[in-house]
Chains A and B, each alone.
Chain A
């Protein structure tokens, strides 16, 4: 039964990595895998977000549902999300979403007493679980100018009050975008640029300059010493074909050939802060593996086929 394997061994190279950003190269696989990875990162890696809000007092200018929506969109630290349960299949609590396995409770109490407008922010949300808290952006570098009070939920004037209880649950971006851990996930094909040097040498310096300038992004440049055209940044190329059109217009078609490598991708992943960007990629691979496992044929489907060819013949095959 076991046939030969057509497995691939993808290679990965990380270029840049910060908590909320990662840029990496993925090689030796095809676009279907790259796209599956991107789709899963956006829509199927679980996080925790506020899903149920009970408002006790709200005398602010925003209505209850408006505030509930804003609360839902606040990213919460979700390192625990992969091991948590979805409240719909949590046995411990019948899915009412108030147990430690599937939910986290938040409280918010704010009242403006002074003449100054009071900003109610994500920092005012008190969590029942110290591992699940509103994402803190204050220690991100270059952000020391403001006093950094978190994400503003609503502003209160003198006498206004907001008091509520919120329940955060595990979910995925497919359900509602508030659960998506990804701010942006993109991949591009790595370009392969070949300059026809012989043809290039037939160009004068002026022509070379005008050709180099025809690219909307800075892909090519001219070496100041040798006056040769060099590729400075192949990845700046946006597959706009401008340089190819320019070469044709100059009567030098074939001056440059540009291909997209079909097995080489450059990923850019930005996270909302709910989980680290590197963890997001890692979780996406794990989720994809779980999905694949779920689509394996079940035993009874295999048994049903035991009639095999005979069954097919009986049906006139």
Chain B
């Protein structure tokens, strides 16, 4: 009857931004990124990639509530970097990692198919 549409779980509503950025009011070089309609899939790979960056002092994500379809990624960096820079860097690195994974998998399919 009044059930929300199922796709509301993964389609960003009109007029809402996919990613919003909010700087911490008390700590320099700390900020939260609110990502709409994403979950552990993106949250966890972003967090782990941020941990590989030595300029990142803290990186964590949370799914505030199972019925609020958003995650909050919090980043605190050293003065050598900024949360925004670290965030962009993490996404670029992950993107390149998946590019490399894609071609590795493609090559492996070709190699495997030719063997049998």
Contact = CB atoms under 8 A, between A and B. Distances in A.
Given A14-B108, A32-B44, A282-B105, A292 B94 contact: yes
A286 interface: yes
Contact of A292 (B26, B95, B104): B95
B19 A295 contact: yes
Contact of A309 (B28, B38, B96, B105): B28
A73 B92 CA distance: 38
A11 to B, nearest CB: 6
A176 B6 contact: yes
Contacts of A301: 17, 19-21
A317 B28 CA distance: 6
A293 interface: yes
A33 interface: yes
A298 B17 CA distance: 9
Interface size, A (range):
35 or more
B109 A10 contact: no
Nearest to A308: B82
B21 A297 contact: yes
A286 B85 CA distance: 24
A271 interface: no
Contacts of B94: 292
A14 B95 contact: no
A6 B53 contact: yes
Interface string A1-37: 1010111111111100100000010000110110110
A275 interface: no
A12 B101 contact: yes
Contact of B101 (A88, A285, A295, A315): A285
Contact of A294 (B18, B23, B84, B113): B18
A3 B85 contact: yes
A34 to B, nearest CB: 10
Interface string B10-48: 110000011111011111100001010010111011111
A305 B93 contact: no
B65 interface: no
Contacts of B104: 9-12
A304 B28 contact: no
Contact of A10 (B19, B49, B89, B100): B100
Interface string B43-80: 01111110011010000000000000000000000000
Nearest to A176: B6
B84 A10 contact: no
Which residue, of A13, A296, A297, has the highest number of chain B Cβ atoms within 10 A? A297
A296 B111 CA distance: 34
Contacts of B6: 175-176
Nearest to B99: A289
Nearest to B101: A10
B45 A36 contact: yes
A317 B26 contact: yes
A6 B17 contact: no
A7 B97 contact: yes
A13 B18 CA distance: 36
Contact of A285 (B52, B93, B102, B108): B102
16 contacts: A3-B81, A7-B97, A32-B45, A88-B11, A175-B7, A176-B6, A282-B102, A282-B106, A288-B98, A291-B38, A295-B42, A298-B18, A301-B17, A301-B19, A301-B20, A315-B25
Interface of B: 6-7, 9-11, 17-21, 23-28, 33, 35, 38, 40-42, 44-49, 52-53, 55, 81, 84-85, 87-89, 91-102, 104-106, 108-109, 111-113
Given A10-B101, A29-B97, A286-B102, 4 more contacts: A11-B104, A33-B48, A292-B91, A295-B18
